[in-house]
Amino acid sequence: MKKALLLGAALNLVFAGAALADITIGVAGPMTGQYASFGQQLKIGAEQAVKDINAKGGVNGEMLKLSVGDDACDPKQAVAVANNFASEGVPFVAGHFCSGSSIPASQVYADEQIIQISPASTNPDFTDKRPGDGIFRVCGRDDQQGEVAGNYIAKNFPDAKVAIINDKTAYGKGLADQTQKFFEEAGGKPVLTEAYTAGEKDYTSLVTKMKQAGVTLVYIGGYHTEAGLMARQMREQGMDTTIMSGDALVTDEYWAITGDAGEGTLMTFSPDPRKNEEAKPVVDELEKEGKTAEGYVLYTYAAIQAWADAATKAGSTDYDPVVKALGSGSFDTVIGSLKFDDKGDVTLPGYVMYEWKDGKYDEMN
């Protein structure tokens, strides 16, 4: 009788443990390499979201665990990360950061029926050509961002000699192309269009070419590291050219590279989610821990919020019911109340213009 009681108690423990099994989800981005500051933004947002969701009882009574994938913004490495997540059996990934990583990884996620919500990949092809209905993003698109930038240049710099340059990546080229398209539709014409190679340290020849062309505004389709170096090298050559770029400059690391050379840099980004009332407790908690809520921290947090809410509504973390819930629901997040359209794009306010001043960026009035 005693053995039977002990066996029953043991079985109860086993079944209780099974009922409370952890759910491992993924976050992926450039955790190393020249864009690692953005990977850290994604990681900080994901860790805080998991912590807060678990504090409220988890998802359907199960605790979340986080698996971190480093793609270094490299397409091949991104595919390897996606395959690793598949081997771990994760139902959901918040990522990737670079469009050039998100797009090839999305094929793996579609094949393996893993839901992907990117906090930051803005290339239109990510959703326009998505390989499955479980691919979403909580950020905007380059065609939206390019429209704001192109029209802003045409309206506010009507007499400028404009150069539009790009780093040949899916993100940088896509953003520059869209900006040029809308700038030209508004009646503008760039005096120079060029491509450059990401990762180099010396852009003197490109800067010299812009100086010779009399460029007074340069639009850079690329990331903060190269844009920061160009800003310094332009100032060193005596150019007071206005610098404009996109959301890849939303990191304090940009100013760390430029110093005062970054003063007056313009960029497009969504309305600052740190100013949302719903985000205040998260922002306060992060700041208390000495962490930042800049850039895509809160977008990553929101991606996980949306997935967790959809899984709760579905009563499951299985692919089909959660995809259905994501496609049909409305989700209250730290970046606002959002819905996804038929492509997996988010319905949120579009892009606004920011300016770097005294080492900080803020929305322009």
Q: What is the pLDDT of residues 184-229, one digit of tens each?
A: 999 999 999 999 999 999 999 999 999 999 999 999 999 999 999 9
Work out the number of other CB atoms within 10 angstroms of the CB of residue 188. 19
- pLDDT tier at 11, thresholds 50, 70, 90: very low
Structure tokens at 283: 């922002």
Distance CA(272)–CA(255), nearest Å, equals 18
- The CB-side HSE value for 85 (13 A sphere, CA atoms) comes to 38
Distance CA(1)–CA(101), nearest Å, equals 60
Work out the number of other CB atoms within 10 angstroms of the CB of residue 129. 12
Q: What is the pLDDT of residues 30-54, one digit of tens each?
A: 999 999 999 999 999 999 999 999 9
The region that residue 210 occupies, defined by phi over 0 for left and psi between -120 and 50 for alpha, beta otherwise, is: alpha
What residue ranges define each of the domains in the chain, with the CATH number in brackets? 2-140+275-338 (3.40.50.2300), 143-269 (3.40.50.2300)
Q: What is the pLDDT of residues 94-135, one digit of tens each?
A: 999 999 999 999 999 999 999 999 999 999 999 999 999 999
Structure tokens at 47: 């860790």
Structure tokens at 135: 């691919």
18 pLDDT more than 80: no
The CA-based angle 33-140-197, given to 5 degrees, is 35
Distance CA(177)–CA(184), nearest Å, equals 11
